[in-house]
Amino acid sequence: MCSIYLENNLFLVNYFTFVNSSVTLINNYTISMANSNVTTESGGRQNMFPTETRPYIDESVSYESYPQNAEKVNGRWAMIGLVALLGAYISTGQIIPGIF
């Protein structure tokens, strides 16, 4: 009779220890989620990044000649593309090798 009581008691101790640790884990998780920067949207979705960083202008960089340089770089890449297109046509006889 004593062995059955001890086995049942041991089972109950382990069961309640498991339940207690599970409840503690869930409680700690809900507290950590409440203290985090996660917001819940109207559709029930969680958003980790509800705020955006403030934009700033780097005063140490000059953008005065940027439009002219952008046009030069764009023209140079266009010329490289045309030369590549011409080279592909001369070497394979197709405008885009494998497609046309």
Phi and psi of 48, rounded to 5°? -80, -20
Q: Would residue 30 count as lying in a domain?
A: yes
Token match 């885009």: residue?
96
Q: Would residue 95 count as lying in a domain?
A: yes
- Predicted local confidence at residue 76, as pLDDT: 96
Number of domains observed in the structure of the chain? 2
* CA quadruple 67, 69, 72, 76: dihedral, nearest 10: -130
| Token reading at 82 | 């045309």
Q: Would residue 49 count as lying in a domain?
A: no
pLDDT means over runs of 10, the chain (100 residues)? 58 70 72 62 71 80 84 95 91 79
- Predicted local confidence at residue 34, as pLDDT: 57
Q: Would residue 44 count as lying in a domain?
A: no
* CA quadruple 29, 30, 34, 38: dihedral, nearest 10: 70
- Predicted local confidence at residue 23, as pLDDT: 73
Parent domain of 94: 66-100
- Residues forming a β-bridge with 36: none
